[in-house]
């Protein structure tokens, strides 16, 4: 019984490690798509039924239309959960206006999100704060 339990535990740990790697690859794909101004690939990382997804689509489309974005993310915490994975991330965005490269802003924001498997891929099913991707407000003087 002990040997069988050990084998099952070792297998479960390997599966969790594979899940964690796939989750991180999904996040990396979203970050890469944002930096490449690829709205459709960025949104593909989010579940279509995610709360706020339409706001996210509007914000990121407007952001990437007028601004060049360089994004990076650092993992703060990862927790496997029943049916998914919860992450705490540290997002950094360098946002430069396309029409005036002298106009730039930097955003650093702690993010909480949850991913769930959808077929062979993981998708973000909850993300906070969605305002991270809102375009900078231009002040006209």
CA angle 69, 29, 42 (to 5 degrees): 60
pLDDT higher than 60, residue 8: no
DSSP string, 89-102: EEEEEEEEESS-TT
The share of the chain scoring above pLDDT 90, in percent, equals 73
Q: Where are the alpha helices (DSSP H) in the chain?
A: 2-35, 39-44, 53-66
Q: Which fold has domain 2-131?
A: Nuclear Transport Factor 2; Chain: A, (3.10.450)
The predicted model gives 25-29 an average pLDDT of 96
Q: Where are the domains of the chain?
A: 2-131
Note the pLDDT of residue 123: 97
The structure's pTM equals 0.82
pLDDT higher than 70, residue 138: no
């Amino acid at each position: 019984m002990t040997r069988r339990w050990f084998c099952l535990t070792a297998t479960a740990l390997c599966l969790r490690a594979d899940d964690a790697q796939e989750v991180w690859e999904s996040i990396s794909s979203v970050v890469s798509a944002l930096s490449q101004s690829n709205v459709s690939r960025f949104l593909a990382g989010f579940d279509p039924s995610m709360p706020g997804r339409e706001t996210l689509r509007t914000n990121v489309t407007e952001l990437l239309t007028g601004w060049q974005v360089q994004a990076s993310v650092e993992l703060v915490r990862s927790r496997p959960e029943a049916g998914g994975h919860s992450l705490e991330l540290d997002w950094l965005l360098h946002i430069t206006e396309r029409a005036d490269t002298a106009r730039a802003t930097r955003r650093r924001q702690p993010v909480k999100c949850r991913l769930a498997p959808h077929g062979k891929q993981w998708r973000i099913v909850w993300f906070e704060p969605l305002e991270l991707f809102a375009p900078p407000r231009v002040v006209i003087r």
